[in-house]
Structure 1
């Protein structure tokens, strides 16, 4: 599903006040102190969100936000025809005179909250959207649809939208670091839980909420945050992203009206962190982005399956290329991964194409057979029920260790000819060559979105994203994605 991060995103924070940073000494004390000594995370985040303008965000972060927008829109457009999205659209979509655009719907529109829900589910329906090691989840899945709806009702410009994406990603990363791996390992889907805060933060940035309003919005997000890992492999998993987007938008809209909540809802006794993370880390203050923003650590998916399977897939692809072996040569295989993959991508006997996305052994057989794991059509029920792959799974052992890098995989293979090969891979390394990343994302986007909206509109979509930070309105973008 997503990688576990190796450590805190920002380990070099000091007490200096900088643009976009909040001194730790400004933390509200007494009732905002959590029972285990946590600082006033909610208030610190609220102050940072309300005080972060476009000038405080680096050009590099804006460029990453464009990459995020391209990838999420392409995945959402491709996922808009999925049955679960159609059900949501039939239940909650509306007429053409409503304010917010629905992805690849032929011009259908919806109320803001419903658009965030439907588009949010579409963006996660294929499980092909980006991931974050800091958040331990899918950061854009809740943030972009919420921000897109909020930007439309607030008549935001393109630069304001990009800024909101940077802010939303940052808040998700900071809260994800505070919770640590225990939140995810305890059974919570961070895309649905932590993502609610990211969505609220992005919308608060767009609507220019005050510090107090933003603190209440984060409190409202805290009490709505939900999502269970037990739903992986079902339609409920994409619903988590849609609900996080919807609830984050709702939180800011209500806070804007004066709706109140506990303004230390993240860290207070019986608050979000203490109830949902058995083991927590201290909130890192000040919020210092001098070394870069969290969005610049985004990891993009190039296989349309659970992210935790990607290192295994890459290791097997390397074995195929280096040793010219395929599925017919397989005598036995052992895949060794860390404990974070238990209960996530270890489905033993998938019955549906969706289940295949979370079956590391089935995906290993597909990868060894040379199947295109980026092909959305591969994840069909027929693939899950293919007797050849079912038989191959019986010769593949999955070893889950208590220690080790949660992002890496080791694959050891024995061939029928008596050869033995071992290969390791780790895909959880952010790109440094942004031109190469854009080229790869553009190819991915073209392969999955262009067949849906056509070459002409796809070209306009790319042009709109490239020019987004200079666009006075979002209309060119909205015209391309409708």
Structure 2
């Protein structure tokens, strides 16, 4: 095992949450958000179709289903360093491999370990990784999921490195799948592949343990040798304060790509100022160069494509005063939206920003010659303005109803005491009725 991989394995092994109430609280909030995203999608036709080919008794199958479902509506959290989604993969793999007698504190520590590895690797990869067309939920997420298993199952040394290695060699996911079932399958595949790697090592198969070697390792492959791990920096930054705290998690109120959140809140601001779609002559969405790659549909034809169209999201707000999530489930977008499309423009005149910062200003002109502008840098759901408790409860209620939502919130509020078993049983009952 090379020095880099040895150092990474030791960081994962040593991840503990004693005295870290801040990390525990955020991990619990992330789990509530994950459950809202997972359970909101459990009756979707595509999720039903995947469930039909899922063996409930196979951990790898459950991981794939949970990952797919929790990312299916694009309702799950995101993180700036990986430019992708954290909890959909990490909690899916942990729910799949956890044993009933596993302690909740270990379950949460495993989530944190996976998040640390993902975030610190993502900071080394991006923004180039995203611009090359990779979907890091599938690439980086596979390694994060493996790290979570390593921590939960208390694997050490060579065995831990082999699980990471076999997971890393399965890293994949291409961003062009946005708007299709392929994108949420990236989360499902990442979780599934990590479980498979763990099971293969359990069965006695081996793998090379030089996963993070500077010359031939995982990071060198994805960056064509231009980036190295920088172990000293990783050791300094691990849990300082923690990737889910800084740069933190972006949580959503609606079912669309998080790259549009600033623009959506900007559109809400313009609506409050009195701007209406019927009065718009032109509206321009301003991006830093390349910042709209995830918003790949400028002329979406379906609701699924509309989840990745800033034009469709802004149109809803200026047309109705709010986002209508039902639009994202429709087979065709409204004719009124298609007729309004010529009014929309994209510009790339915002200076390049650090990974942790977002800016998508809006400017508009109305038919009476007035000019409008909005520039929301910290929208609701961003790390600086997290969802309120009431908003998180409302999101969970959308998935399970008010009575169940209250019970879930109360139960998780009492964590990290106890074992994870009752939670595993309840989720399996919801996902395999």
The answer, yes or no, to whether TM exceeds 0.5 is yes
Following the alignment from structure 1 to structure 2, what is the Cα–Cα distance between the partners of residues 220 and 402?
A: 41
| Greater CA drift, 337-346 or 196-205 | 337-346
SS of the residue corresponding to residue 325 of structure 1 reads coil
Alignment of 1:63-212 (within 5 A): 63-92=25-54, 94=55, 109-152=56-99, 155-212=101-158
Aligned partner of 1:264 in structure 2 is 210
8 A Cα contact 1:465 1:477, kept in partner: no
Q: CA deviation at 1:290?
A: 5.8
User: Structure 1 residues 260 and 402 mapped into 2: Cα distance closer, same or farther (>3 Å)?
Assistant: farther
8 A Cα contact 2:11 2:235, kept in partner: no
User: Structure 1 residues 319 and 41 mapped into 2: Cα distance closer, same or farther (>3 Å)?
Assistant: farther
Deviations 1:108-166 (A, max 9, x none): x34111000001000000001001112221011110010111113x6312221111111
Q: CA deviation at 1:257?
A: 4.2
Gaps of 5+ in 2: none
**1:292 maps onto 2:241 in alignment:** yes
Q: CA deviation at 1:168?
A: 1.1
Aligned partner of 2:325 in structure 1 is 376
**1:387 maps onto 2:335 in alignment:** yes
Aligned partner of 1:10 in structure 2 is none
User: Structure 1 residues 475 and 222 mapped into 2: Cα distance closer, same or farther (>3 Å)?
Assistant: same
Following the alignment from structure 1 to structure 2, what is the Cα–Cα distance between the partners of residues 290 and 48?
A: 10
Following the alignment from structure 1 to structure 2, what is the Cα–Cα distance between the partners of residues 477 and 285?
A: 33
| Greater CA drift, 389-398 or 286-295 | 286-295
8 A Cα contact 1:222 1:271, kept in partner: no
8 A Cα contact 2:124 2:227, kept in partner: yes
Q: CA deviation at 1:72?
A: 0.5
User: Structure 1 residues 287 and 113 mapped into 2: Cα distance closer, same or farther (>3 Å)?
Assistant: farther
SS of the residue corresponding to residue 449 of structure 1 reads helix
8 A Cα contact 1:209 1:256, kept in partner: no
Following the alignment from structure 1 to structure 2, what is the Cα–Cα distance between the partners of residues 71 and 52?
A: 23
Deviations 1:268-299 (A, max 9, x none): 53432222225536432324446311122111
TM-score, scaled relative to structure 2? 0.90
SS of the residue corresponding to residue 364 of structure 2 reads strand
Query: Which residue of 420, 425, 431 corresponds with 2:376?
Result: 425
SS of the residue corresponding to residue 314 of structure 1 reads helix
Deviations 1:306-336 (A, max 9, x none): 1111111111111111x21111111111111
Q: CA deviation at 1:444?
A: 1.7
**1:362 maps onto 2:309 in alignment:** no
Deviations 1:52-92 (A, max 9, x none): 2343x611100001001000111100112222222211112
Aligned partner of 1:100 in structure 2 is none
Aligned partner of 2:406 in structure 1 is 459
Following the alignment from structure 2 to structure 1, what is the Cα–Cα distance between the partners of residues 173 and 423?
A: 34
Following the alignment from structure 2 to structure 1, what is the Cα–Cα distance between the partners of residues 123 and 385?
A: 26
User: Structure 1 residues 316 and 281 mapped into 2: Cα distance closer, same or farther (>3 Å)?
Assistant: farther
Gaps of 5+ in 1: 1-27, 33-39, 95-108
Aligned partner of 2:20 in structure 1 is 58
Aligned partner of 2:161 in structure 1 is 215
Following the alignment from structure 2 to structure 1, what is the Cα–Cα distance between the partners of residues 351 and 402?
A: 47
8 A Cα contact 1:315 1:410, kept in partner: yes
8 A Cα contact 2:212 2:229, kept in partner: no
SS of the residue corresponding to residue 234 of structure 2 reads coil
Q: CA deviation at 1:367?
A: 1.9
8 A Cα contact 1:233 1:358, kept in partner: yes
Q: Which 4+ stretches in 1 moved above 6 angstroms?
A: none
User: Structure 1 residues 376 and 421 mapped into 2: Cα distance closer, same or farther (>3 Å)?
Assistant: closer
User: Structure 1 residues 290 and 379 mapped into 2: Cα distance closer, same or farther (>3 Å)?
Assistant: closer
8 A Cα contact 1:67 1:438, kept in partner: no
**1:404 maps onto 2:367 in alignment:** no
Following the alignment from structure 2 to structure 1, what is the Cα–Cα distance between the partners of residues 412 and 421?
A: 10
Following the alignment from structure 1 to structure 2, what is the Cα–Cα distance between the partners of residues 75 and 144?
A: 12
Following the alignment from structure 1 to structure 2, what is the Cα–Cα distance between the partners of residues 306 and 190?
A: 14
**1:350 maps onto 2:300 in alignment:** yes
Query: Which residue of 307, 310, 314 corresponds with 2:258?
Result: 307
